[in-house]
Amino acid sequence: MSDISIVEEATSIAKARPSKRQSGLGYDTRPNAPWGLQRISTAATVSGSAKAMDYTYSYASGGLGQGADIYIVDTGIYTQHNAFGGRASVVWSHNNDTTDSDGHGTHVAGTAAGDVLGVASNANIFGVKALDSGGGGWSSNVIAGIDYIIQSHDARKANTPENNTHFIGSVISMSLASSGPVQAINLAIQAAIHAGIHTVVAAGNDHSDACNSSPASSGGLRGGAITVGSIGMNAHVSSFSNYGDCVDVYAPGEDVISAWIGGRDMVNSLSGTSMATPHVTGIVACAMQGNATLAGDPGLMKEWVRMMGLGVSTGGDGDGGVVVANNGVKGGSGGGGGGDGMIGL
């Protein structure tokens, strides 16, 4: 018929999307990322050099934690680092010194919420300096820091002049460990969770039962915190990582590149459950966006984090494997280029 130009099978059409969104996949991607960001946003195998910055980070929402408050309980934060884009501040210090002379807190903050380097790249970053320049400290300072966070969260949640009108919730990130269980720390974390604050903690680096130290023992089957162990690029549990019933999920913790002290563009590569923890912190901050139910319920968030995780076999006989943290995006390419106890990293 002269009125018909062509005959073609119908196909689905969607509105034009930004160029960074891969057509038909339903998620955004960001290049030039550390390997850990690809690991938490794909179900595929990740391979390549851990030192390279040529991996792809995939995420479901471009908001990337905007409106979420992340409290980094650590050695402080080098807030002038370019990775933070003016979003970072140190709001509490056990000794009134707000600088990070150790670098550990800056590295953790970079993975949790740094530009390019981090998971929740639009979240607010608040440093709570409970550890000293050598990376150690006292349980009393950690507890005092948590108490400050609860008060800050309550103030921002309420309709006060200090409140951010775009505030959606708070998450505490604790990359530290004690030599044994500290009941006072676990009770402080329980209070934070009761106040509606999501709490993500490191499993520890002794290759032993995570239930034997705090704050790790406040998670898993023992409590409401989310305790994070470490895996390498091969998704096997790191040789140093603690394990057991107190661990909820595992995340990238070997050769993790993140922000560092000494210059606005400085980066460093570190390993430990300290590095794994902020990956999950960032996932929680992003998950709060657009989901008021998750944002206000740490218990449901913990269930969601475990539900989104990927079951990975560790290769041992009769071993059921581990749960590897995932942000809900399963696609993407796998290639790449009590007492006053002493606290330590």
104 is catalytic: yes
274 is catalytic: yes
Which of 283, 256, 344, 267 has its CA nearest to residue 106?
Answer: 267
74 is catalytic: yes
3-state SS assignment for residue 281: helix
CB 270 within 8 A of CB 256: yes
Q: What is the DSSP string of 114-168?
A: -TTT-SSTTSEEEEEE-B-TTS-EEHHHHHHHHHHHHHHHHHHHSSSTT--TT--
Report how far residue 70's alpha carbon sits from residue 110's, in angstroms, rounded to the nearest whole number: 11
Which of 333, 311, 331, 330 has its CA nearest to residue 322?
Answer: 311
CB 220 within 8 A of CB 227: yes
Alpha helices (H) in 7-92, listed in sequence order:
35-39
Strand 226-231 with 198-202, pairing: parallel
Catalytic residue among 104, 107, 153, 198: 104
Catalytic residue among 100, 236, 274, 279: 274
Which of 56, 44, 35, 168 has its CA nearest to residue 111?
Answer: 35
Catalytic residue among 69, 74, 102, 132: 74
What angle (nearest 5°) sits at the alpha carbon of residue 68, between those of residues 66 and 70? 125
Token reading at 134: 């050598």
Query: Which sequence positions are flagged as catalytic?
Result: 74, 104, 274
